[in-house]
Amino acid sequence: MAMIEMKNLSKWYGSFQVLKDCSTRVDRGEVVVVCGPSGSGKSTLIKCVNALERFQQGEVIIDGISVGAPGTDLPRLRARVGMVFQHFELFPHLSIMENLTLGQIRVLGRGADEARDKGVKLLERVGLREQAEKFPGQLSGGQQQRVAIARALAMDPMCMLFDEPTSALDPEMINEVLDVMVELAQEGMTMMCVSHEMGFARKVANRVIFMDRGEIVEDALKEDFFGKPRSERAQQFLSKILHH
């Protein structure tokens, strides 16, 4: 059953079309990696899923609810979709623990104690229990991104969106974040990840989507994508990033 479904999604910035008739789906428990050259519309695509970006044509349906429909309670829907950003976007004026409890308390209406307990558990899970009272600016990039994942998980999301979660990280910190993501995937979390980490894709993805110039050029099972990509553009892209 589809958790996320996109039907003929198109988006323009002024007269420039950033997304061209994109259709795909992410089933429950599936991990889909979206890759492609920069400027290909991957980030825009994933931001359309929870309506952080508006789109002019087409439809996005999450768990049966149309994101673009006028009556949709977007905050409520977004609360059930976890999102992790390229630049972490922790709230710098809040402690790590407050970052984890803000949404639980203000959106889900949990009590402070309950939210804290949940926060402690999740920090433990990402190996940052001792950092609870620190502030984001005092943590390394890798640590901040793990906190950001914990923050998203604190809302008990039904699926997770990752927008280039490792591309702002120093090389030595990439793996600590990928490890958390792999674990999450193996637990059965539904995930849509914009990422160039082909090792991650090989390990846990069910499908890989390749985008170029606003189009979904290839949407294939992992084995097919890495084995014999059909499009020439995808072949070129892969040969470039897998070169070293």
> Nearest approach, Cβ of 55 to another protein (angstroms)?
15
How far is it, in rounded angstroms, from Cα 185 to Cα 202? 12
Tokens of 127: 């190996």
Cβ-based nearer residue to another protein, 94 or 198: 94
Cβ-based nearer residue to another protein, 66 or 175: 66
Cβ-based nearer residue to another protein, 156 or 223: 156
Q: How far is CA 222 from the centre of its chain?
A: 18
Closest CA to 152 of 114, 125, 172: 125
Which residues here bind another protein, judged by CB under 8 A?
47, 50, 52, 74-76, 78-83, 85-87, 89-93, 102-103, 106-108, 134-139, 151-152, 155
Sequence-ordered strand ranges (E) for the chain: 2-13, 16-27, 31-35, 57-62, 65-66, 81-84, 159-163, 190-194, 207-212, 215-221
Cβ-based nearer residue to another protein, 100 or 217: 100
Q: With contact defined as beta carbons under 8 Å apart, do 192 and 161 qualify?
A: yes
Cβ-based nearer residue to another protein, 61 or 217: 61
> Nearest approach, Cβ of 202 to another protein (angstroms)?
28
Cβ-based nearer residue to another protein, 50 or 166: 50
Tokens of 1: 């059953």
> Nearest approach, Cβ of 90 to another protein (angstroms)?
8
How far is it, in rounded angstroms, from Cα 100 to Cα 120? 9
> Nearest approach, Cβ of 163 to another protein (angstroms)?
9
Tokens of 70: 């006028």
> Nearest approach, Cβ of 74 to another protein (angstroms)?
8
Q: With contact defined as beta carbons under 8 Å apart, do 68 and 10 qualify?
A: no
Q: Is 133 left (phi over 0), alpha (psi -120 to 50) or beta?
A: alpha
> Nearest approach, Cβ of 64 to another protein (angstroms)?
18
